[in-house]
C-alpha cells in the first residue's frame, strides 16, 4: 500500500516529535524546580 520510504519518513517524524515534546517538558520542569525558580 505504502512504499518503504514513506513509512521510514513517517517513523522518523514520529520519533523526532516525541523527542521535541519530551525535551520541552523536561526543560520546563527543570527550570521550575531550579533554586532560582526562573521558569515559573
Partner 1 sequence: MTQTGLPGAGAIDSYIGRVDAAARNLPPDRRIELLDQLREHLEAVSLAPDATEASVFAAIDRLGDPAEIVASEDGEPAVLALPPTPARSAWGPLEIMAVLLLIVGGFLIPIIGPLAGLVCAWLSPAWTRGEKWIATLLGSGSILLVIGFLFGSIF
Where does this chain bind partner 1 (CB under 8 A)? 10-11, 13-26, 28-29, 32-33, 40
- Please check whether residue 39 is in contact with residue 28, taking contact to mean a CB–CB distance below 8 angstroms: yes
- Give least dist CB 32 to partner 1, A: 6
CB of 31 to partner 1, least distance (A): 10
Q: Which one, 4 or 16, has the nearer CB to partner 1?
A: 16
Distance in Å, CB of 23 to partner 1, minimum? 7
Q: What angle do CA 28, 35, 20 make, to 5 degrees?
A: 15
∠ Cα 28 37 24 (to 5°): 5
Amino acid at each position: 500500500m505504502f512504499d518503504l520510504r514513506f513509512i521510514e519518513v513517517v517513523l522518523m517524524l514520529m520519533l523526532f516529535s516525541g523527542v521535541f515534546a519530551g525535551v520541552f517538558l523536561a526543560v520546563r520542569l527543570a527550570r521550575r524546580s531550579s533554586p532560582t525558580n526562573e521558569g515559573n
